[in-house]
Structures are given as C-alpha cells and as structure tokens.
Chains A and B, each alone.
Chain A
C-alpha cells in the first residue's frame, strides 16, 4: 500500500513537471504565433538530450488514458451535417487510405532499409494516423474554406481510428508470429464493427441521460465516463476501444448538445478542449523523454526513408482518392496533401509498442518521432506559404471591410442593449440614460449606413452571412422537431420525414443567392426562354457556379453513363428577357472544349499496348426554347 502511495506521488511529481514544461511551451507558442504542437515537439526534441532515467509508460496507460481524450474531443466537436457533403471521400481516405498507406509505407521501408516486413508494416499502420490540428488552426486564422477544414478534420478522425485498429492487427501478427489474410480481414471487420456498435449504443445512452439532466457538472461527468468507459468496455469485449470512443464521441457530440443548456454546452466543450490539451502535451513530452537523441542520429537514414515513404503514400492516397470526391478543386488537393501532418496519435502508438516486441522497438519510436518532427516542422511551417501562394483564400478587400463594419455595428448594438437593460433595472438613472441614449442612437445610424455602403458596393459579401443564417435556422428547426418528437407531439414517421427534409435542405449546395437578392425573396423571375444545355460531368461544378453568379436559376437532370465513364449532365436554365447571351457566355467560360489523350489499345498488336489517342472533350450542346408560361413556387 505504501509502495503504491509513493509510486503515485512520484507519478504526480512527474506529471506536474511535465505540465509545467507544457505551460511554458504554450506561452512561448502564443508569443510567436506558433501552433502549440510545434512548440511541444521542439521541447520534446530538446528533452531527448536529457533522458534522465529509462522512462517506461505502459501501453495500456497510453492507449487507455491518453488517447481517448484526444479522439473523444475531436469526435465530439465534429458536426455530422458538415461531414455529409464529402462523406464518401472522407471514408475512402480513412479506411482504404489507411490500408494503402500501411502497405506502401511498410513496403518502402522494408525495401529501403533492412527492416523485416512485419515490423515495417507495424510502423506503416501507426504512421497512417493524421493530426491536422496545427493546420486547421491556420485555416481558421486565414479564413480558408470551411469545407476544406472539414475534409481534413473528418479524414483525421476516421483514419485515427482505422490506423489504431490496423496497428493492433499488425502488432498481433508480429507478436504471434503468424499471418492469415482471411483471419486478419475477418478480425479487422469484427473488431472495427464491434467497436463502432459499442460506441454508438453507449453514445445514445449517454445522450439520453444528458437530455434528462440539467446540471453542468453531472453532464460533464457523463461525457467523461462515456469517453473512458466506451474504451474500457469495448476492449474488454475484444473489439476496438478507439473506434468505440470515436463513435461515442460523434453520437454524443451531435445528439448530446441538444439536450444541454447553453451554459452546460460551454462547460463541456471547454472541459474537453482542456482534456485534449493535457493529453497532447503529455504524449509529446513523453516521446521526448523516451527517445534518446543518439538513437535519432544513428537512424537518420532510416528516418529519411520513413519520411519519404509517408510522403509518397499520402500522395497516392490523396491524389488517387480525390478523383472520387465531388469535384475537389486541384488547389485543394495540394493543401490536403501537404496538410497530412502527423502528431500525438502516431507518437502514442509508437510509445505503446510493448517491451516484448524486441530490439526494433526503439528504432520504430525514433522513426515515428522523426516523421512527426518533419511533418510538424517542415509541413507545419510551410503550410502558410502554400496557402498564400495557391491563392486559396480569396478574401477580397470588401469582404474584410464588411466584416469590420459589421462587427462594429454588432458590438455597438450589444453595448446599447446592455445599458438599456441597466436603465430598465434602475441601475442607471434616467438622467444619465437621457445623456447616453441619443449618443448611441446616432452611432447606430452611422454604423448602419456604413454597412449598407459596403453591401451596395459588393453584394457578394452578404452571401456568406445569408448562408450561415439559413443553416442555423434549419438547425434550429431540426432541434424543434426533436423536441416535438420527444414530447410525443409527432410520430416517428412524421419526424423522420420532416428531418429528412431539413437534412436535404442543409445538404443543398447551389443556392443562387445573387439571384435571390436581386429579385427579392418573394418575387418570381420573369422567364422568357428555356435553355437546355448538355455539359460534361467534369465541367458541371464550374458551369453551375458560373450560371449562378450570372444570376440564372438552374435545374439538373440526371446523367448517363456508368462508374468512371464520361458522363453528361443536362441542365435546364430559365432565361429572362435578353439573358441568352450571358448564359451562353457563362457556359462557354466553364465548358471549354479541350483535347485530352485517352489510352486506346492498338489494333492487331500482340499485347494490348495502349497508344494515346487525342479525344475532344468538354464543350456543351445548347438548345434554346421559347417559353409560353413560367411558374415557380
């Protein structure tokens, strides 16, 4: 008992010291405007110079205590609506992507260094988990498109889970010494599926409990129990604890907050933000302590190969799978590629390799640290320049000016409301209020005019605000429907149909705001002609944007052709008086005819040798009809 007490005190001492270091790092990071994970990895590197004693943290501790908070926090604040848009792409990147990364990295490492295949595969699996925290923070700061941020966050969340499961399998193969493909695949499916199931069930139970309780501390504890409990329960059932945590986090994060009051929501989110910060810090510092700088230097070549392998594998994964995504702009692919930073999870997995693994253990840890160092320092630091040079963020002058004026207006309004309330409550005398009120009113007028001025000059800035307002109002409607269902006012069927409508509305991407703003929301366009344009699938997104921008309403008819073959889409466009010219021009700009080379087998050759054949693609076929009458409602 005494032993245990002393050991716990030692551990406490160690943790407090580590946290002190983390504290120092965060302050420095904030000063230098660095993402704090970069600061942590540098301190970790510095710590490798010391390694006071052989620090050994048990794998169970790492996976059971430090990893769940990281995953739960990420899963908790991701919104399912946002994931929907690119759901399949995210899933492709996360699951097949991880498998391919494992095999590629494992293969390259095994071929490029002397390391045995099984061992290399263990590394391949653990290094597949991405951690874009640093990059996402940058996105937010620069105002990069939200969709890009969601892609990276969603991919990271799911690939963390998959990587951990793969890692477990590969580790098992090495420890047991035998490999059976069918058994491994069956194992993977069982472990993964089981984990998700456990997580979803527990997540729903927790959300129920949260809905029925209104006490911030209790509700926070429920989430804590959920995060760690899901892991422990799933592991005891021999299914994936991590996937259980991820699933529980997603369910609880999307269903749970509805049952929380706004204050509780803030408390819970803050708690998990802090929890993740603690876990992140401890993991980074631990790897610094457990890795010897000598090992890093000795293995620099292998680390180099590892870095190369990771870069190649990511290229294959991103550029390959994004072909299946819904029209991802080329620039985004580059950002997605370079944004595949590795972080805490990779280190945690490396730290969790058991002692029984053999001498390669330290090597793998050094390799993991090397890769993480590279991604955080090189990719993390250069991301800023990449985004700017790709001109990804097109924040026009007028958008920034609008934001400033709008912010002044809103904050002035808040101050006015506050003071008015003080007056009503009698905390500010009538006399004083009499002086203050006209000052505020005048300011209000000036600021309203200022905002109007910017909007008149460039109406496009309103669009983002309108879009957000619409989305929020739809979410509120969804929440209200949930309440109606819970109170028994509507049936399950009615609920699912109506919620389906809301979700479909949230998924709608092509709202022609400029047209709506120009016409006014209630009015009907006077359409004189109908244009039918048959365009190629790859040009679709551009064509829709161009037509929207020009103020035309467009409807889409389904495409022909099958998987991967060139598809047509037929567009129906309503043209107001004299609109033909603009519509044709919009189509011309977006559907340029171009020549591509397609591989066709040479006739009569012995082997099917491909010979590139120039094929004209793009272009559009346009019919215009007179319209007798037009209705819309």
Chain B
C-alpha cells in the first residue's frame, strides 16, 4: 500500500557539536528541518534532535547527508548519530 510519495518522519539525534553543521547541510540540500534544542549546557555535553519530514524516496539521501556531516568523533564508543525513520499517517503543511 505504500507508495514512493508516502511521507516519513526522520528523528535524528546528533551531538550538539555537529548539529549546526548538519542543519546547514540539510538546508542546503533543500530539506525542511526542525531542531529541538540540545540538552547540553555549560560544562555538559548534549544532544540535538532534528525532525525532518521527507518522502519515502528521500529518506536514503537525507540519511546520507547526515552521515557525511557527522565529524568522526574523538570518542570511539559513543554514537555520533542515532536515526529513527517513522511512517507518517498524515502530513499537512498549513
């Protein structure tokens, strides 16, 4: 039942050090992105969460953009990005 024009929501959790770069890259690639502010603060490390509404066929390229712009971390253990792709029942832009 799903066609290539079904909308998907991408929830991407990235490090706050990367989020500006990734945001810019996604905007340059003409994706519409919403950033939920990061959890970090003075002396604390945080995540930034990005929400994107994309069509099914765009998912792959959006993930690729994020992958390319995540700086290879100095820390081998902690993940640089965690991405969930969710199916969307209904998508409206008013």
- Chain A positions within 8 Å of B, measured between CB atoms, are 84, 87, 470, 474, 477, 497-498, 500-502, 504-505, 507-508, 511, 516, 521, 527, 530, 553, 555-559, 572, 574, 625-633
Contact = CB atoms under 8 A, between A and B. Distances in A.
B43 interface: yes
A82 to B, nearest CB: 13
Nearest to B45: A504
Given A521-B77, A555-B82, A556-B47, 20 more contacts: A84-B43, A474-B74, A500-B17, A501-B73, A502-B74, A504-B40, A505-B73, A507-B45, A508-B75, A527-B84, A530-B11, A557-B36, A572-B11, A572-B84, A626-B86, A627-B84, A628-B87, A629-B85, A631-B85, A633-B79
A633 B84 contact: no
A497 B21 CA distance: 14
A512 to B, nearest CB: 10
A623 B70 CA distance: 29
B47 A555 contact: yes
Nearest to A529: B84
A346 to B, nearest CB: 31
B85 A555 contact: no
A530 B77 contact: no
A83 to B, nearest CB: 10
Given A84-B43, A530-B84, A625-B86, A501 B75 contact: yes
Contact of B74 (A505, A555, A625): A505
Contacts of A557: 36, 39, 47, 49
Contacts of A625: 84, 86
Given A501-B75, A556-B47, A633 B11 contact: no
B13 A555 contact: yes
Interface centre among B17, B37, B70, B78 (most CB of A within 10 A): B78
B74 A477 contact: yes
23 contacts: A87-B43, A474-B75, A477-B74, A500-B17, A502-B75, A504-B17, A504-B40, A505-B78, A508-B45, A521-B76, A530-B84, A553-B79, A556-B39, A558-B46, A559-B39, A572-B13, A625-B86, A627-B85, A628-B85, A628-B86, A631-B63, A633-B80, A633-B81
Interface in B34-88: 36-40, 43-47, 49, 59, 63, 67, 70, 73-87
A633 B73 CA distance: 10
A507 B44 CA distance: 7
Interface residues of B, number: 35
A252 to B, nearest CB: 22
A504 B37 CA distance: 17
Interface string B1-19: 0000000100101010100
Interface of B: 8, 11, 13, 15, 17, 36-40, 43-47, 49, 59, 63, 67, 70, 73-87
A628 B83 contact: no
Nearest to A85: B43
A527 B13 CA distance: 15
> What are the nearest 6 A-B pairs in CB distance?
A505-B75, A504-B45, A629-B85, A631-B83, A555-B13, A628-B85
Contacts of A553: 79, 82
Contact of A633 (B17, B46, B49, B67): B67
A502 B45 CA distance: 11
Contacts of A555: 13, 47, 49, 82
B45 A632 contact: no
A210 B85 CA distance: 54
Interface centre among B38, B49, B70, B77 (most CB of A within 10 A): B77
A631 B74 contact: no
A501 B39 CA distance: 16
A511 B45 CA distance: 13
A564 to B, nearest CB: 16
A516 B77 contact: yes
B74 A498 contact: yes
A511 B73 CA distance: 15
Contacts of A516: 77
Contacts of A630: 83-85
Nearest to B56: A628
Given A572-B11, A630-B85, A501 B49 contact: no
Given A574-B84, A633-B67, A501 B59 contact: no
Nearest to A326: B44
B78 A511 contact: yes
A527 B84 CA distance: 9
B70 A633 contact: yes
Contacts of B80: 633
Contacts of A504: 15, 17, 40, 45
Contacts of A556: 39, 47
A504 B36 CA distance: 20
B84 A501 contact: no
Given A505-B73, A508-B78, A628 B8 contact: yes
B33 to A, nearest CB: 16
Contacts of A477: 74
Given A498-B74, A530-B11, A628-B8, A507 B86 contact: no
A632 B79 contact: yes
Nearest to A83: B43
B92 to A, nearest CB: 19
Contact of B39 (A511, A530, A558, A632): A558
A572 B49 CA distance: 10
Contacts of B11: 530, 572
A556 B41 CA distance: 13
A626 B87 contact: yes
